[in-house]
Structure 1
C-alpha cells in the first residue's frame, strides 16, 4: 500500500531538560507549532542518531551550549490537531547538565526562538508548550532525587 505524500506521519523530537541549580533552560518559540509558548531546547531526530547525540547536537545548534551527563527521562505521544498543519509528535525527554557551568546560552536560531533563559522549576513561565505544560501540571520533576548542583 503506497502512502500519499499528504498523509501526515508521526515525527520524533528529542528535547532536553538542561538543569542548573533548581532551574531549567527554556526558550520562547517562533514556530507553526506552539508559537510564543515556552519550550525546552531540542528538535528532530536524524536518521542513525541516538537520542543523546540528537539532544547534544540540538542544544549546540540552538544555544551554543555543550552538555554532559545526558540521560533518558520519559517520552510523550502528542497530537497537535489545532495547529495550522495537524501533526503528531513522539517526544523523547532527556536531562543533562552544562559541560562547563560558566557557559551562557546564546540565541543561535532567532528565526525559531525569541531567546533562552533559566526558569525556576517551581515558577515556570506561561504559556508552556502543551506536552511540557501537561508534565508540569502532573507533578513531573526533571531533577534526580539526589540532585544538588
Structure 2
C-alpha cells in the first residue's frame, strides 16, 4: 500500500430533511465501495478541488453522487476535523457541511456513481446511524461533535 505523501481535504455534507409524517430529521448516507473506507457508511462528498470554496465543493459532489441540486446559499459550514487514518496510511482534513432540503425533493436521489457506492443511498436518523459501521471521519464527527442539528 502506497503511503499518502500529502494531507488531502475532503468535504462531507449532511443532506437532511424533516419527515412530515413523524417529524424526525433524516440525512443521506451510503456504503462506500472501491476506495479507502470500503464497506463503511459515509456522507456524500469528495475531494476539495484547487481554488474551490467549501460550498461549491459540497454542491458539486452532491450533484455528481446523488443527483440532488443544492442551493449554494443554503449550504452551511459545520466544522473541520483532522482525520489521521493510520491503518490506511492516509491523512485528511475533513470539512463537514450541512444543507436541509425540502421533503418533496427526496425522490430525486439516484446513485450516480455505482462504482463508488454499494446499494443505494439511504435516509437515516441519527439513532439509526449510530449502529452502523461508519467511515472513520463520520464516526469521529459523531463521537466528538454537537449533533443537535440532526434532532
Asked if these proteins are the same fold (TM beyond 0.5), I'd say: yes
Q: What SS does the aligned partner of 2:105 have?
A: coil
Report what 1:89 is aligned to.
92
How much does 1:61 deviate? 0.1
Choose 1 or 2 for highest CA Rg. 1
Aligned partners of 2:4 and 2:90 also within 8 Å: no
Structure 2 CA distance for aligned equivalents of residues 94 and 101 of structure 1: 21
* 2:108 counterpart of 1:107: no
Structure 1 equivalent of residue 50 of structure 2? 47
Contact 1:52–1:70 (8 Å) recurs in 2: yes
Alignment check: 8 A CA contact 1:17 1:142 kept: no
Matched with 2:8 is: 11
- Distance in 1 (alpha carbons) for counterparts of 2:110 and 2:4: 36
- What are the residue-to-residue correspondences of 1:1-149 with 2, within 5 Å? 8-21=5-18, 22-68=25-71, 69-83=74-88, 86-98=89-101, 101-104=104-107, 105-114=109-118, 115-124=120-129, 125-138=131-144, 140-141=146-147, 143=149
- State the shift of 1:43 in Å: 0.3
Distance 1:81 1:138 in 2: 19
Partner of 2:21: none
CA RMSD of aligned residues (A): 2.0
Structure 1 regions of 5+ residues with no counterpart?
Answer: 1-5
TM-score, normalised by the number of residues in structure 1: 0.84
TM-score scaled by length of structure 2: 0.83
Does the residue aligned with 1:128 lie in a helix, a strand or coil?
A: coil
Could you list the per-position Cα deviations for residues 3-37 of structure 1 after superposition, in whole angstroms to 9, with x for gaps in the alignment? xxx76100011110011121110010003311110
Query: Number of matched residues?
Result: 138
Contact 1:26–1:39, Cα closer than 8 Å, also in 2: yes
- Once residues 81 and 145 of structure 2 are traced to their aligned partners in structure 1, the CA distance between those partners, rounded to angstroms, is 15
On the 8 A contact 1:95/1:142 being kept in 2, the answer is no
Which contiguous aligned blocks of 4+ residues in structure 1 show a shift greater than 3 angstroms?
none
How many Å separate the matches in 2 of 1:57 and 1:99?
18
